Chain A
Amino acid sequence: MHFKGYRRKNSRAGIRNHVVVLPTVGCINELASEIASKVDGAIPLLHNHACIRLGPDLLRARRTLAGIGTNPNIHSVLLVGIGCESITAEELAEEILPYKQVEAVTIKKDKNYNSALEKGVAILRRLVRESSEVERENCDIADLTVGIKCGGSGSVSAIASNPATGQASDLLIERGGRVIFSETAELIGAEHVLARRAASKEVSEKLLGCVNRMKREIAEYGVDILGSEPTKGNIAGGLTTIEEKSLGAIIKGGNSPLAGVLEYGEKPSSSGLYFMDGTTQASQLFLGMFTAGAQIQVFSYGGGLPARFRGLPSYPPGLPVLPVIKVLGNPEDIEEREYFDIYAGGIISGEMSVKDAGESLFEEFIKVASGKMTVTESRGGYREMLQIYANGLLM
């Protein structure tokens, strides 16, 4: 089975062909933004990294910035740096170079803002024109990596949108693809069920280790997770306990064996289903999925108020390079249908089966991978800075 994608050297195929301007540190966002504003078709990926991160958070920021550059949805990268930052343009260029064209301008090398601006614009125009010559070719569906997240959870999530998403996940994995799901806090109370599906004892132990660490951190913070999960909105929707919410959440990953457990932004080593140890916050999580090589992101909605405000939290507005396929599960929100790519609410009203909805989502993977715009891509406009995940001390 194939899709029409962009072949890349030394990596899987891309489904988009973006040229991005990537600052090495948030201090230089303005220059990156100004360079991109002068070139049609270039995307500035402004972010919040600053030289105040330590140890694991600094490593995570480095992995994230390099991972943005290496994702196959990106044709080429213009790095914009200063020269005094903790993660330099030279280091990032070295990591990105095996996979694609990467260029850099810095205040240090190019003397000042104006000369870096002029040089950056010239380089970027060339990259954008070169990208416009690349054509889509037949690529194996096994090249796809799909990230999965759920939100707006109610008890219908586990009956409609999550099982449909799980079905599509299984179909992709059967054909050699990779699927990543995450949200460590949402495993609490259901970790033993997912651990039973682990491909090895090591994977099972790593998974339980992530959840135990999360529980310990929550307790050290002096918070009773049972007091905040399930949320008020979840309870109004019929979810009674955290176990029930978590069991419903893991359904979105389907029934495949768990091939591995990843760090935030870490790339899967082979095909199959992966769990990423990460946050539930949508835009930070989507950035982690993109860094891990995901070309498509699925957002499975239960329904309710989160399904009705159209943009956030589904849309990581600074990350237009990762198409998001939104799935709606609740027929009570049918008037919002046009803001979703796939409707699974027919499962609740008895008009469609989980199999039907799962197959239509899987077909949507191939269509979007071949160039079809998602609803979110077609809306455009509103953008925010990328938020790189940190969970430690900031100086």
Chain B
Amino acid sequence: MKKAILMDKDDNVATVLEGVKKGEMISIISTDSRVIKSIEAGEEIASGHKIAIDSIGDGETVTKYGEGIGTATCLIDRGAHVHIHNVRSMLKYDSN
């Protein structure tokens, strides 16, 4: 089974280590290579990209390395590709 790595136990996204197709089962592993669970890919996801391991509500924080990396801009289903189409930075541009 192809793998996705969860960088911290509190994260809601994992990084896919080998590209996966829609419907493929993926094994979610920890950084010390323990298998945590298996989930189904909701869509095609390229290697190095992120998959939601739980559903993430619109406006909720996307967490990787145990830290917030952005805010969900819509409801993200479990198994979905998490990237710039459904997440924005939490930083704001201040032109002043």
Q: Which residues of A pack against B, CB within 8 Å?
A: 154-156, 158-159, 163, 188-190, 193, 215, 219, 222, 224-227, 235, 237-238, 240-244, 247-248, 251, 332, 348-350, 353-354
Contacts and interface: CB of A to CB of B under 8 A. Distances in A.
Contacts of B84: 235, 240
22 contacts: A155-B50, A156-B47, A159-B7, A159-B15, A163-B31, A188-B91, A219-B93, A219-B96, A222-B95, A224-B95, A226-B93, A235-B83, A240-B69, A240-B83, A240-B84, A241-B88, A242-B91, A244-B70, A247-B69, A251-B65, A348-B17, A353-B33
Contact of B67 (A154, A190, A349, A354): A190
A241 B67 contact: no
Contact of B93 (A163, A225, A235, A350): A225
A247 B65 contact: yes
A-B pairs with lowest CB-CB distance, top 8? A238-B48, A238-B49, A244-B69, A224-B93, A241-B89, A155-B48, A241-B70, A243-B69
A307 to B, nearest CB: 13
A219 B95 contact: yes
A189 B89 contact: yes
B83 A158 contact: no
Chain B interface mostly: loop
B44 to A, nearest CB: 13
Contacts of B62: 240
- A190, A235, A251, A350 pick with most chain B CB within 10 angstroms: A350
B71 to A, nearest CB: 9
B15 A238 contact: yes
A247 B67 contact: yes
Contact of B47 (A226, A247, A332, A354): A332
B33 A350 contact: yes
Contacts of B65: 158, 247-248, 251
Interface in B4-46: 5, 7, 15, 17, 31-33, 46
A134 B37 CA distance: 59
Interface of B: 3, 5, 7, 15, 17, 31-33, 46-50, 62, 64-65, 67-70, 82-84, 87-91, 93-96
A159 B82 CA distance: 17
A18 B96 CA distance: 49
Given A243-B90, A243-B91, A353-B33, 19 more contacts: A155-B15, A156-B15, A158-B7, A158-B65, A159-B7, A188-B91, A189-B89, A219-B95, A222-B95, A225-B91, A238-B47, A238-B50, A240-B62, A240-B82, A241-B87, A241-B90, A242-B89, A247-B65, A353-B32
Contacts of B46: 238
Contacts of A354: 31
Contact of A243 (B48, B50, B83, B89): B89
Contacts of B69: 240-241, 243-244, 247
A165 to B, nearest CB: 15
A215 B96 CA distance: 11
Given A238-B49, A238-B83, A350-B33, A193 B94 contact: no
Nearest to A193: B67
B64 A189 contact: no
Nearest to A156: B48
B50 to A, nearest CB: 7
- B49, B95, B96 pick with most chain A CB within 10 angstroms: B49
Contacts of A238: 15, 46-50, 83
Contacts of A244: 64, 69-70
Nearest to A243: B69
A224 B95 CA distance: 8
A163 B89 CA distance: 24
B24 to A, nearest CB: 17
B15 A350 contact: no
